Amino acid sequence: MNTLLDGNRVRDQILEELRPRVQRITHALGRPPGLAVIRAGDNAASEVYVRNKTKTAAALGIASETLTPPESVTTAELLDMVARLNLRADIDGILVQLPLPANVDAQRILLAVHPAKDVDGFHPVNVGNLSTGRPGPVPCTPAGIIELLKRYEIPMAGKRAVVVGRSDIVGKPVAMLLLREDATVTIAHSKTKHLPEVCQEAEILIAAIGRPAFLGAAHIRPGATVIDVGINRLTVRAEVAKIFGADSPRLAAFDEKGSVLVGDVHPVEGPREAGAWTPVPGGVGPLTIAMLMRNTADAAEANLSRT
């Protein structure tokens, strides 16, 4: 059986479940859950992402505000901005949209966010909580991957999982979450020797290496579940034709728009070999915002328990 894992469908389920929960929190707190987003500079992709996050928050009844300091903002100015948000009682969650301007020390900014308000789950305190099985916010994309697997009833316990990619944002946390679900986990990366053979061991293959169409038939065990986290924008027509084929509708879409998105898994070979797979777009991506909303609701509930 070849199953497309529809991230949009699962996202809609999660958001629908959150709606009454947000209403209960709002009634109990006397205010809606509050989310603050810092988007520094003029990154066009960040602007789109943040707009989608605030739109989703508004639809759920979460109060959100976006702070947009200029490209010239300093580390000190951003630290002051975060410090003020940490003190605000009406802000339950703080999200610092990456990337930050090149002149800003991003690590210092992320460390400055209070762990209880860190709805991205990036603070070392929350990373430690995750690694030791304690409660706390979990990075949104890895949490979304686990949610997708659970809702499609794909077993993880006892399964061999290979995570290709070792980033702090996706690779490492999703490996820890898979361990929590009793999977047997291998982390591979660009320096792994005999990578195709390592990947062929996977009953669950997570692709998060940041290389377009990098994992193909040679990497995929027939019938495996393949989760493609990559979002790569192709802007060269020859590359699109090579990956999708000269007669593909995606090539016609490229001719119309000037670019197409492709994941880290080959979009033709991956679905052909896999038993279940996520498309790009429409797979993991939609779940990231849904899990951000859940983390914000969790943070607001934690505030409620402290009042």
Whether residue 63 contacts residue 34, with contact meaning beta carbons closer than 8 Å, is answered with yes
Residue 223, phi-psi category: left (phi > 0), alpha (psi -120 to 50), beta (remainder): left
* Exposure class string for 99-122: b at 16+ Cβ within 10 A, else e: ebbeebebeebbbbbbbbbbbbbb
User: Quick one: three-class SS letters along 271-295?
Assistant: HHHCCEECCCCCCCHHHHHHHHHHH
Q: What is Dmax (Cα atoms) for the chain?
A: 61
Which is the catalytic residue, given 92, 117, 118, 120? Answer: 120
Which candidate, 24, 60, 25, 54, places its Cα nearest to that of 39?
A: 54
- Is the Cβ–Cβ distance between 144 and 287 less than 8 Å? yes
- What is the C-alpha to C-alpha distance for residues 262 and 251, in angstroms, rounded to an integer? 12
Question: φ and ψ at 5, to 5 degrees?
Answer: -90, 105
Catalytic site residue from 97, 118, 159, 228:
97
120 is catalytic: yes
53 is catalytic: yes
Q: Which residues are catalytic?
A: 53, 97, 120
